[in-house]
Amino acid sequence: GVGMPGVAYKAKVLPVRVLGKCGGYLSDIADAVVWASGGTVAGIPANTNPAEIINMSLGGGGACASTYQDAINGAISRGTTVVVAAGNQAADAVNYSPASCRNVITVGATGIGGRIASYSNYGSNVALAAPGGDPDSSAGISQGYVWSTGNEGATVAGRDILVGMVGTSMAAPHVAGIVALMQSASVGADRGALSPGQVRQLLVDSARPFPIAPPADRPIGAGLADAAGAVQLALGNPLPEPPIPGLQNGVLSSGLGGAAAQSFAYQ
């Protein structure tokens, strides 16, 4: 009853730290992708509980390096879906990685009302979009940011806090959470686990049209991620009727390294 529930709040999380205060090496990230998906990393004990979904709210400049791509290909071959942030440079995601890697689900960001976030990367390799936040003068702090749990400690653990952040780093885990719901639904209905290719296709097929279309030169995929629609397709059911315009509850305010903007401590 305290804090924020996630998209798939009953899912189990396998946290793998790949970056420190001063960044990290691409090789560390690649090793983590291999290990998290059940692959072998020399000198590291085997992962006995491989992840079904990997979320990568991180990235950097340049096209996808072979080190990245090989690790991702291995994860995909083991049945792990890889979701990545498109990036926050308001540029074509093809020039950033892992957003430009093949076989990943690259996620762009929307802000309040479903408009493309001002910072979101875009391009033909972006699969779909999700809330990433985009505060502006017309929206208050609570509406413009994506809120989540955090900690105020700088060097050791401190009090738990609520943190408002913006970025495609916030959008990608919305989609990763939806994938967790999809897998749970499919397995629970005795349809078996979905392959990464099936996951991507169902996410695209179930995406909701943008309430405010992005500019033609800044495409951010098939539409807004729709959890209810994606789960129904995972169950083998038809898509539900779309919301009636003007009656929906609105779209959540929309990281590659999203910056914390505001925080509140709670006990």
Q: For residue 137, which amino acid is it? A: S
d(CA 108, CA 119): 10
Name the phi and psi angles at 72, rounded to 5: -65, -45
How does strand 105-110 pair with strand 81-85?
Answer: parallel
How does strand 126-131 pair with strand 146-151?
Answer: unpaired
pLDDT of residue 99: 97
pLDDT of residue 135: 75
Helix (H) / strand (E) element for 88: namely none
Which among 117, 102, 106, 34 has a CA at the least distance from the CA of 63? 102
pLDDT of residue 32: 96
Q: For residue 178, which amino acid is it? A: I
Q: How many CB atoms lie within 10 A of CB 22?
A: 5
pTM for the full model?
0.89
Name the phi and psi angles at 171, rounded to 5: -70, -45
Where the chain has pLDDT below 50, the residues are: 137, 246-267
In angstroms, the Cα distances linking 20 to 83, 232, 246 are 21, 39, 45
pLDDT of residue 110: 95
d(CA 89, CA 91): 5
pLDDT of residue 256: 34
CB 131 within 8 A of CB 251: yes
CB 171 within 8 A of CB 131: yes
Asked if omega into 243 is within 30° of 0 (cis), the reply is no
pLDDT of residue 50: 97
